[in-house]
Amino acid sequence: MRGSSEVKETHDVIKGYDAEGRRQINEYIFLKTLAVGSLCKVKLACLVTDESQLFAVKVFSKWQLRKKREYFRNKEGGGMTYKDQLQNVLMEIAIMKKLQHPHLVRLHEVIDDEENDKLYMVMDYCSNGELLSWNLKTLKFRPFLKGHDHLSETDIKKYMRHLIRGLHYMHMNNIVHRDIKPQNVLIDGNFKAKLSDFGVSQLFPGNQEGDDKLSKTEGTYHFMAPECCDPDVESFSGKPVDVWALGVTLYCMVYNVLPYWDDTEFGLFQKIHLQELKLCDSRQISPGLKSLLLKMLTKDPLKRATILELRMDPWLNEGCKNQLSTEESPSMLSEVTQEDLNHAVTPIHTLVWAKQIGKKWRLQAAQHRGASGKSQRDGSFSSGGGHGSSEDGGKQGGAGIDIEKAFGALRMD
């Protein structure tokens, strides 16, 4: 299994303990808990036959996953149906089975016994952890490198090249990640960056321009693209959204802070949608890196750099033996079946939430126009906290953002 690109499927679970009293599942010994999320635990495991081979194992309770349901309106028949979290996990597995790239976290084995409640996903273990860790108190990131306050431009270039290779592979195969952020970039023991967490990724049939249309947002608020925050936009292309999120990740790598911040959903979406990008003056960066940031964080998705254009970026290729632009294109995946896709429904709660946000946005914009005597079109729609006279004490969009929920350092669901 270790030398094969195929994902092993195991349908029998044998539980026990080794001679040292450590939990054993089939050929794996659980060493410690790496993380605990709302839907699963992540365990560090090794092989019984070779303790130097380490893996990260996601452990799910299928019963708990089935309990968490989202209700949908079927696009084809118009009737009501539901989708539980188990189906989402199975979709993630289906996508990961098709992904074989050195800069994407690889799925090695799925252990799913019908007579056992647990489902196990055995994946690459990245011993250096997240590229950047988020500090909720300081609202800043910190690089994984101990003793370093920030990443050097050399390191930034190295990891950006890794991520662009991985994302190029996904986009060439018409897969959109949809939740790129520093916490979903893991660094392995050889200091290679790998994109992880494909729980909200989307597979699209075909491979033509415009095949990647989306009608609902996923991912982490602070990394959403302007078109996702525009209440008047009903659908958008997924690939430019990934480039924007990677651009925000690059911004975090450079400055250790987010480019846009607000205490409310409305305020945050408003800033992402309308506020001009400002580069921090806390750090002087090269003109080439500045140019890369600006082309990735262009508001207009039609003018934003594509992944192919990023491969030709001068700064990313400067001083590198291998030019990204001349590297061989990644191989195509096997044909995607309808069963693989399984995305013929639209979640009602997401649409309702989006419409509610849109209504709040339009209402507050109208109130602001009435107070200022200006129209939104002339640029007066404030991108700051300029609604202090509202009945809720100046909080746009009602309640403030639950930061731990909206921007959790670890996404396990």
Least confident of 65-74, 148-157, 320-329, 377-386: 377-386
Please give the structure tokens belonging to residue 1: 């299994």
Instruction: Round to whole Å and give the CA distance between 27 and 50.
Output: 10
> How would you class 394 by CB atoms within 10 Å of its CB: exposed for 0-12, middle for 13-18, buried for 19 or more?
middle
Most confident of 76-80, 92-96, 403-407: 92-96
CA-based Rg of the chain, rounded to a whole angstrom? 22
Q: What is the pLDDT of residue 279?
A: 96
Instruction: Round to whole Å and give the CA distance between 291 and 254.
Output: 13
All structural domains of the chain: 8-78+105-124 (3.30.200.20), 132-341 (1.10.510.10)
In whole angstroms, how far apart are CA 275 and each of 158, 237, 254, 297, 379?
A: 30, 21, 20, 12, 10
pLDDT range class, residue 327, cuts 50, 70, 90:
confident
Q: Which of 179, 212, 242, 262 is catalytic?
A: 179
Would you call 178 helix, strand, or coil by DSSP? coil
Q: Smallest Cα–Cα separation from 308: which of 242, 251, 368, 221?
A: 242
Q: Which helix (H) or strand (E) holds 274?
A: helix 265-274
Per-residue model confidence as pLDDT tens digits over 108-118: 999 999 999 99
Instruction: Round to whole Å and give the CA distance between 53 and 106.
Output: 14
Q: What is the pLDDT of residue 1?
A: 40
The type of residue at 215 is S
Residue 18 known to be catalytic? no
Taking the model in full, what pTM does it have? Answer: 0.79
Instruction: Round to whole Å and give the CA distance between 371 and 362.
Output: 14
Instruction: Round to whole Å and give the CA distance between 410 and 42.
Output: 11
